[in-house]
Structure 1
């Protein structure tokens, strides 16, 4: 075990947090031949990794002292901050780098970044955009934010985690902002899919029967994302092909059919309500993405 201030190899890495994702991260580092030290609050989770060659630290402070780079992956920033800011760990981290791959809000990323700067800890925030099974493969996707020189310094070690790493800028909160926005897309889509399954089942259509057609709907979305992103950024909301008034009518039909079967349609009712609000503000002829402006309007007014 390395002690604070002792020389450690530049290719060494410490992983704090050995849940399913943390174990996958540590395993990828080991597979790449990187000296890997691991620690978890619950004893015993490091057993398999130690058998593969990892060094099991007796404490979190000992773990971070063993490497110039510490990767943190725990349940949220309450857990991450409690760990990083504990007396022994904070002292051991001075002058070393933390890459925090814990998921939470942009505000929490900014706060932890500010704490790190005030305590001499070099800090990068990050987000893991793919499941544990992709870690260490060409399919893994990571987002990073924070000092560009720090990212460049540790990029060769982080490369062991997967092929795609993107640095989003110096603001440490950028990775968290992307993460939440993209998860918003994912979970909203999954909520729509589960509601669709319930509605289809009520009408005698099985999930397997519906799935091929649902994939066709999903294939429509990527070009729509590209097209409407430009409209949103430029403030133009063409609705000639599918105005908001048409969308409201379509969503109302879904709600009516689902609720006739006793299916909870709260998510679709919320979407319909957003669209009706935009129509009520005079945007009925606009495209669906106009809703983004309507949703943000109260925030814009309060910021002003």
Structure 2
């Protein structure tokens, strides 16, 4: 395998789960010379058939190209794979699209620098089906000059959304998005469980669910300036109203024979707000409840 040519029209992709395979495929479609490596080598078969080069070792994968895209489960996987080949990291640009925490992203960037590599953190905002399109973005953070130098390479994967020099920022914005996504999706699934227990199908609930979730944007737009101003006036809704409403949800859930743990957890947060003397304030005051828990 010839590893002498290093240029920005070629990339290495390490990690060939569904996301990594989609990324490698996007680079092939864009005319890049693509080197791939995965612990289970057979995952590269389809990509090799399309023109990718399968590296026999991690060292070969790193040596092949300056830009190395990491699509791994987390940063622990990065260390497990790259530490034995750390001597080959000198001069590499690690585009780490693995999901993890902001602090681990910062630690990962420092670890890469210690071995002579530069690191960009990424947070991909699409499933594999959206890779190679401009409909979705990826959060990036790390050295601005590095991002700008390789932005054209990054845009092959998705659009780019640079968030700042701190390596942890892309991971932070990604986790903020996931916090909202998984919580909302879980709430929908719980709603379906209660509906199904009462003989109501997912299809019947679908238009109601999309209407409620679609309308959330209006609430977010309305409350954001108030929250930033520290105003939690209960002129639209109040914590006391929310407590009463969630109690009805919990009772309905129990009467349906469905696990009430999810709405009970939300109700507990509401009750804490009321117990703190803010029962007549807006539900937005719960930001203080959640923040105090973190401080404790």
**Which residue of structure 1 aligns with residue 7 of structure 2?**
9
Q: CA deviation at 1:228?
A: 2.6
| 1:125-173 deviation per Cα after TM superposition (whole angstroms, max 9, x unaligned) | 11111111111012232111111110111110111112x2100000111
Equivalent of residue 235 in structure 1, options 225, 230, 234: 230
Within 2, Cα distance between the matches of 1:81 and 1:67?
19
Does residue 215 of structure 2 align to residue 220 of structure 1?
yes
| 1:236-265 deviation per Cα after TM superposition (whole angstroms, max 9, x unaligned) | 223211111111111110100110122101
What secondary structure sits across from 2:134 in the alignment?
Answer: strand
**Which residue of structure 1 aligns with residue 59 of structure 2?**
61
Report if the CA contact (8 A) 1:127-1:142 is conserved.
Answer: yes
What secondary structure sits across from 2:136 in the alignment?
Answer: strand
Q: TM-score, normalised by structure 1?
A: 0.93
Equivalent of residue 142 in structure 1, options 135, 138, 141: 138
What secondary structure sits across from 1:123 in the alignment?
Answer: strand
In the alignment of these two chains, the number of paired residues is 296
| Of 54-63 and 291-300, the range deviating more from structure 2 | 291-300
**Which residue of structure 1 aligns with residue 201 of structure 2?**
206
Q: CA deviation at 1:196?
A: 0.6
Equivalent of residue 106 in structure 1, options 73, 90, 102: 102
Within 2, Cα distance between the matches of 1:231 and 1:97?
42
Report if the CA contact (8 A) 2:69-2:95 is conserved.
Answer: yes
Compared with structure 1, are the counterparts of its residues 81 and 233 closer, same or farther at alpha carbon in structure 2 (3 Å cutoff)?
A: farther
**Which residue of structure 1 aligns with residue 18 of structure 2?**
20
Q: CA deviation at 1:218?
A: 0.9
Within 2, Cα distance between the matches of 1:9 and 1:206?
55
**Which residue of structure 2 aligns with residue 283 of structure 1?**
278
Equivalent of residue 41 in structure 2, options 40, 43, 52: 43
Within 2, Cα distance between the matches of 1:119 and 1:23?
27
| 1:186-229 deviation per Cα after TM superposition (whole angstroms, max 9, x unaligned) | 11111111111111122332111111111110111112223333
Equivalent of residue 183 in structure 1, options 178, 186, 198: 178
| Of 45-54 and 135-144, the range deviating more from structure 2 | 135-144
Structure 1 outlier segments of 4+, above 3 Å: none
Q: CA deviation at 1:2?
A: 4.1
Equivalent of residue 266 in structure 1, options 261, 265, 269: 261
**Structure 1 residues not aligned, in runs of 5+:** none
Within 2, Cα distance between the matches of 1:288 and 1:11?
52
Report if the CA contact (8 A) 2:197-2:257 is conserved.
Answer: no
What secondary structure sits across from 2:283 in the alignment?
Answer: coil
What secondary structure sits across from 1:103 in the alignment?
Answer: coil
The root-mean-square deviation of aligned C-alpha atoms, in Å, is 1.4
Does residue 73 of structure 2 align to residue 78 of structure 1?
no
Q: TM-score, normalised by structure 2?
A: 0.96
**Which residue of structure 1 aligns with residue 288 of structure 2?**
293
What secondary structure sits across from 1:126 in the alignment?
Answer: strand
What secondary structure sits across from 1:138 in the alignment?
Answer: coil
**Structure 2 residues not aligned, in runs of 5+:** none
Report if the CA contact (8 A) 1:74-1:80 is conserved.
Answer: yes
Within 2, Cα distance between the matches of 1:245 and 1:116?
51
